[in-house]
Each structure stands twice: as C-alpha cells, then as structure tokens.
Structure 1
Amino acid sequence: MQSKIRRKVILLHTIVILLGLGIFAYSLPGFPAVSLAVIGLFAAAVTSSRLLDIQLPQGGRLNIDTAVILASILLFPLPDTLVITILGMFASMLIRQVKLKFAATLYPLSLKIITVFISTNIFYALGGKPGKIEPLLGIISLLLLCGVYSVIDLGFDQLTIAVNRGTRYMRGLVSSVRFLGPIYLSLSSLGILLSIMYKGMGYWGMLLFFLPLMVTRISFKSFLDIRKIYRKTIEALSNAIEAQNSNRSGHGKRVANYSVDIAKEIGVRGRELELIGYAALLHDIGMLGVDEDSLDHLLEQVSAQSGEAPHALIGAEVVEQVDFLRDAADMVRTHHYPIDRLKRPDDIPLGARIINVASRFDKLTKTDMLDERLTAYQAVSRIKKEQGMRFDPKVVRALITTLRKQGKLMEYVK
C-alpha cells in the first residue's frame, strides 16, 4: 500500500515539475515588460505575505500571497507575473531556511506556475487585459479570475494531500472550499484593491495595501483562535465526563485523536473534520451522572449493543443546545449504531461510523483489566471480524493505515 502511494507521489511530482518548467520556458519570452524595480517590489510583497501565513487547526498553513499574485495578474503581462511569483516564493523559502531539495523546491513552485498560467489565460480569453479593466465584460472576467484562481489553488493543495495519503479527492476539495472559501474571497477582494491602489498611487498604494491585508490576517487568525478556545472548552467537558471514573481517563481525547486521523485518511477536511473531532470528544457526555455500579449502567451497556444507547441519545440532546455543535449532535446520537442496522451504511453519519471504530479500538487497547487488554494488532483483528456488521469496512481500513503511519501496527493485517 505504501509503495503504491509512493509511486503515485513520484509520478505526480514528475508530471507537475515537467509541466511547470515547460510553461515557464514557454512564457518567458517577452520578459520584462515592466521595470525590474517594479518586479522586485511585487516579488518582495509576495515574500512578505507568505511570511505572514497562518497555521490551520487541521494541519498545514494558509499562505496569504493570493492577493499580491492576483494583483500582479491584473497589472502585468503573464511572464512578469510568473517571475514575480517565483522570486517571491523562493525568497520566502530562503528566509524560512527551508532545505532546498530539488523536488521539494520545484514542486510547489511548479504548482503555482500552473495555477497562475491557467488563471491568467482564462482571464485573457474572457476579455481581460493586464492594466485595464473594461466595463461589464472586464468585470465578469475579473470575478471569474478570482474564482478560478482560488479553486485551482485549493484543488492543487487537496490533490497533493489526496495522493500523499491515498484519500478521496473530491470530498476533501469540497470541505476545503467550504472552510477556506471565505478567506480566499477576502484575499481576492484585496488583490483587486491592490491593483486599483497601485495604478492610482504607485508605490504608496503598495505600502497602504498592507494595512487591509494585515486586518484580514488578524481577523482570520482571531477566528481560528476562537475555535481553539472552543476546543479547549470541549476538552474540559470531556475531562469532566471521565472524572467520575478514573479507568476512563483520557478516553475522549484519544478517541478524538484517532477519529480526526481516520477522517483525514478518508479525505475529510475543513468544518466536517472539526465537527468529527468535537463529537468524538463529547461522544460519552450522556454518561455524566450514570453510576458505574448501578443497574441502570448495566442496562445501558446491553442496549448499546443494538445501537439504542440511552447515553448517546441524552448526549445528542445536550450537544444540540450549543449552536456551533448542533451539526455534531447526530454523530453523538448514532455512534453506537451497527452499520447493518440500516439499509445503507451512509444513513449513519460518517463521523458516527468513525467514532464507533475509534472508541472500540481504544477500549480494547486501554482497558484497565490487564488480562483483557489487547495489542494494536489483536484489537484490529477483532474489529475486522465485525466489519460489515458493526463497523464500516472503509473506516476500518483507514484505521489500519493510520496505525501503520503512527508505527503502532507493524504487522500485516489481512
């Protein structure tokens, strides 16, 4: 499996690098159309904006160079824009002291070359002209340029993730567009603003441009920081659930970590991935107040085997009371449902199917009864016996891949 993914990664890198270098060589004649000082200024702006990137909660970073690159497309011919982009990206790599390995350096540069080339040519084909915005047709071409550039940029990022992880492409792309679409819209608007400011004010326009760019960055970072606070609050609730039983300590957090990693393997991104993490942390919130030694708890365990777990129903009602968690309530409600209970496994939310597998794996490997505690290999083997009945085979395969990548499952599991 890993060798197959590696071959795909090598093939993707080879195709992208050859295509990127070919496009650059094809487009270079005619450079420079504007002064080298202007090219250097915009390349420095690309570098500065890339150094202001934002760490995303699901991993990876969001570069805010989109605004400067779109402004370059609107202001300058294609060869100049490509040189500005390459110089800016390369300089940011040097400043960050990134190891400039051949493939690791040329691959992201080539992806950006292809993105700029396709977007610019669509802009030209629709009547757009560098340095001039025509009424009506020009506005339409400008808006399409922003949309096409954003989708291609996100699409290439997701393609890289999908090939590296062997996950589904379209699901991840849709999640990325939903999550990052608003920030790309803001950056596109700033790119249009920069082109207007530069044409009217020259170098002063470039300096003033960084004020709204910084405001946009700070606003989005503040939004992500609030999300982090949400997660810390939810983790505190998860700890409260486990406080009544020391044997369950850390269960919620471990299940959440497994669930997020499994979801990433399947190709989930953005808001859906975030909700799965929240639902996993709170999947047992309905257990608050249930006495572990009571008859009610024994009845709870029996009913959970059929999917009708009272604590899951209670937990879902609790989660539904919180606006930003409302979409996670159904995952909590159905996380004990065996997939053969319904006509189609997809009738059970993907997050619930993931949490079901992750929770079972954690319980098998972390039970307080040492004589019943299983190794990762034994736990996966037991879970595989119930796939297609209790567990979703797709999720089980993603669990196995995740454990192998984490070095927890060295043996081959059929």
Structure 2
Amino acid sequence: MTSSGLSPAVAATRRHRPRIIVLIGMTLLALAYLGVLRADDLGMGDAMVVGALAIAMAGGEFLRVGGPTHRSIAPVATGAAVALALASVSDNHELAYGAPLVVVTVALIILLTAVWLEKPDNLSFRIAGHTIRVIVMGFLAVAFRELPLMEGGSLAHAAAQGEIEPWALALTMLGLTCLAQLLELSLHVWMRTALGRQQWREILAEDARDMLPIAAAAMSTGVVVAIGLRSLGLMAIVLFLAPLVLMRISIARRTGAIQARRQSITALSRLTDLAGYTEPGHAERVAVLCGLVGREVHLPARSIIHLETAALLHDVGQIGLRHSVPYGATINLAPLDQEQIADDSADLVEEAVYLTQSAAIIRSYPTSFRVLHEEAKRLSVEARILKVCNAYDDLTRGDPLRREPALERIMLGLGYEYDPAVVDVLRTVTVNLTPPTEVPAGAEDEAAPSRP
C-alpha cells in the first residue's frame, strides 16, 4: 500500500491516466486521419510531401528547447508545420490536400510525441499548450487552403495556377504567419493569465522578448520551405530546415550554460553553511520562500530569478566576519552591522556582471520599510520580500513548527521594518509548509524578541 492508502497498481494507473487519455485521443485522431486521406484522395506527390513534413515535425518535437523563463518551443517542428499549411506546389505538381489533413496531421504528431516526451504529471497541463499550436496551424491552413480569398478560389489554388506573383505570394504568406504568431501569443497570454500568477502585460512582455524571435524564425523558415518545394521538391525540407537544427543546438548550449551558472550560484551559497556561519540550508530556504512570495505578488519571471539569486547569495559577506553570528541570524544584529554584511555580500556578487541586479537587491534589503514613507526613498519590492523571508527563516531556522512565534516577532515590526503586504503573503504561502502539529516547548522563547 502507498501512503495514500492505494495499492501500487492502482496508484500507477492513476498516475498514468493523462497518458492513457492521450493514447485514446491519438487512436481517434488516427482513425480520423485515415478518413481524411480517403476523402482527399491524395496522389503520390501529395502523400510524399505530407509524409516527409510529418517526419520532420516528429523529429522536431524531440528537438524541443525551453525558454529562459517559461514555455518551450520546437522550432524545427513549427517550421515543418507551417510549410505543410502553406505548401501549394511541389516539383510543378499542385498539392491538393485540404486544411483538415493539416490539422489532423499536426494534432496526431503532437499527441504522439507528447506521450513519449511529457511526464504523466505534466501531460494534462501541457495539452493546453499543444492545443494552441494545433489551433494556430489550423488557422494558417484554413486561411491559405480553404477560404475563397481569390476570384478563382483559395490562395493555395491561385498560387498553384500561377495567378499570384512570386513576391506577392511570399508577402501574403509572411502576413499570414504574422497573424498566426499574434494569435498564438494572445492565446498563450490568455492561458497563463488564467493561472492568476502574473498580469497579462508581464506575460506578454516575457513572451515577446524570449519566445517571439524563435517562433518568428521558425515560421519564416516554414514559408521558405513552402516556396522552395516548388523548384527543389522534397530537398527543400532538408535544405531549409537544417539552419533551425543548428539554431536549436545553439539555444541548447546557451540553456545549458545558464543552468550551469545557476548550479554554481547554488554551490556558492552553501559556502557559509560549510564554514559554520549560517544554518544549513538557510539560503536555499530563503530562496524558495522568495520565489513563492514573488509569484503570489505577480513579479515577472525574470525578476523572480534575480530575487532568488539574491536570496541564495545574501549572506556570503559573513565569510569576512571574525566571529560568526549565532545561527547566522542577521535579524538579531544592529542595523549598521546588517548593512555592512549586505554591502560585503553585494560587493562580492557584483564581481559577476550578470548578477548586478541581484547585487542591488542584496545591498538594499536591510533597509527598513519606513523609508518609503518617512524619507520618500525608493525600495524595490524584491528587497522588501527578501527582508521578510530572511527574517522568517532566521527565526524558524527551517522548522515549520516555529512559524507562529516567528510571525508574531515579525508583526512587531510591521509597517516599520517590514512591508505589511509582503508579510500577509508570507503568512499565506507558509500555511502549506506547516504541518498541523503543536509548537514544541521552548520554540516561543527562541523566536520571541529579547527584552531588556
């Protein structure tokens, strides 16, 4: 029996339910695919183009890369899907397949690779993102292959008959891909806004900065493949999708470098633990709390990364102390001593150019909240979050049973030392971290403020 009271077989079945559902859906799509093939009565040329692009899409799904802050993208698969939606001629042969074939092919490939690539726990959520891709490619296919936008019929038919000048056809395809990118961006922003973690403006800015350039490169390459099929045939697929494979390798290397950098920062944060200056795990616990609070107050993803980095490194300045602070709890030090440690930490962190924003948070976090009102100074919300989360872990030392005494101590400085809004959020996010057990004897005394 598992901890939930279920047998291992039943627990495994429940864990794989999303994957089972996707397999069922994939089977239904395969049947629909056969029906579409029969309805379209494809010739050999159409079948070869569809098959080659389907293989490119499937392979591209295995070359998916993640963005710096959130969702991932498959540039090769996206380029192949756009080419499938916009191709009209291959080796002087008109491609007569319709939009339903494009939609079913894209959906089938996405579901097939999702079963193998996605973890069962993430599958149900990821399906929403995959569905957006199907919708976007469906929009492209319907607009180009079905809508009677020309006197003779659809754009695809007019292009195959030579009724559109090559430059006009290229501009039309690019215009459709721009509309498709706008649709995809809007749907992703709408979906992520529904999670309630960020404002739509922040999500839009992140997507436009991190993912839009990659998506634009993939879609424009799809246009080039669709045009190249006219003269080069299937060779255009290999020739023009190859740069996207190289781009994916470059992005993967950059992502690996970012991950290695974060691992180095985490290792450096443990230096004070190993030297006995701070409690084991203090920096990592503060970083986790800062991340939870930052998401609750809708900080942008990049700001949360800078905040978590500052939380990991905010105590490295203690290495220069002659005598260690008891338990590494800077909350019990005089304000000037707290500022000195923060300045020393920030000076070390600033040695790395890419950590200047985190260093600024570290340098300002000991500042009292009252300066916002009494002295009209600026104090970033990241610094206010770090101050509250650091004080909380200094008082609890990682023991959730000390939560209430620690919050009572923090409440004594509410509005003077600590931002009331941040404290309220901290109280909320730490509820799930606290087991329903009574506080052990002596915990209140350790977390309570010293009295003269």
TM-score by length of 2: 0.67
- Deviation readout 1:334-363 (Å, 9 max, x if unpaired): 222333321499942332233223222222
Range moving further from structure 2, 66-75 or 144-153 = 144-153
Q: What's the CA shift for 1:326?
A: 1.9
Structure 2 residue corresponding to 1:170, chosen from 201, 205, 214:
201
Q: Quote the offset at 1:289 in angstroms.
A: 0.3
Give the number of equivalent residue pairs: 377
Query: 1:319 is matched with which residue: 349, 352, 357?
Result: 349
1:291-306 aligned at under 5 Å gives the runs 291-292=322-323, 301-303=333-335
* Structure 1 residues 58 and 175: alpha-carbon distance in aligned structure 2, compared to 1, 3 A threshold: closer
Give distance in 2, aligned partners of 1:179 and 1:117.
24
Please give the per-residue CA displacement for 1:193-216, whole angstroms capped at 9, x wherever unaligned: 433443332222223445323212
Counterpart secondary structure, 2:266 = helix
365, 369, 378: which one aligns with 1:339? 369
Q: Note the 1:18-33 alignment, pairs <5 A.
A: 32=40
Does residue 348 of structure 1 match 2:388? Answer: no
C-alpha spacing 1:38/1:309, structure 2 compared with 1 (3 Å):
same
Q: Alpha carbons of 1:253 and 1:166: their partners in 2 closer, same or farther (altered >3 Å)?
A: closer
* Partner residue in 2 for 1:260: 291
Q: Is the 8 A contact 2:69 2:302 kept in 1?
A: no
Q: Is the 8 A contact 2:197 2:296 kept in 1?
A: yes
How much does 1:272 deviate?
Answer: 3.0
Alpha-carbon distance in structure 2 between the residues aligned to 1:273 and 1:135:
47
Residue 222 of structure 1 and its aligned partner are, at CA, apart by 0.4
1: distance between equivalents of 2:121 and 2:388? 41
Partner of 1:187: 218
Task: Give 1:230 shift.
Answer: 1.2
Q: Which has the larger radius of gyration?
A: 2
Change (3 A) 1:293 1:286: closer
- 5 Å-filtered alignment, 1:126-141, equals 129-130=155-156, 141=172
DSSP 3-state at the match of 2:221: helix
Match of 1:231 among 228, 243, 262: 262
> What residue number does 2:110 align with?
89
Q: 2:64 aligns with which of 44, 53, 61?
A: 53
1:225, distance to aligned residue in structure 2 (A): 0.7
**Aligned partners of 1:162 and 1:267 also within 8 Å:** no
Where does structure 2 lack aligned partners over 5 or more consecutive residues? 1-31, 89-97, 438-452
**Conservation of the 8 A alpha-carbon contact between 1:179 and 1:271:** no
Name the CA distance, whole Å, in 2 between partners of 1:184 and 1:105: 18
1-side partners of 2:67 and 2:200: how far apart?
19
Query: More deviation in 197-206 or 379-388?
Result: 379-388
Identity in percent: 22
Does the Cα contact within 8 Å between 1:40 and 1:84 map onto a contact in 2?
no
C-alpha spacing 1:245/1:109, structure 2 compared with 1 (3 Å): closer
Matched letter for residue 186 of structure 1? A
Letter in 2 for 1:171: E
Gaps of 5+ in 1: 1-23
Q: What SS class does the counterpart of residue 164 from structure 1 fall into? A: coil
1:71 aligns with 2:83: yes
Instruction: Go from structure 1 to structure 2 and tell me whether the alpha carbon gap of 1:112 and 1:188 turns closer, same or farther (over 3 Å shift).
Output: closer
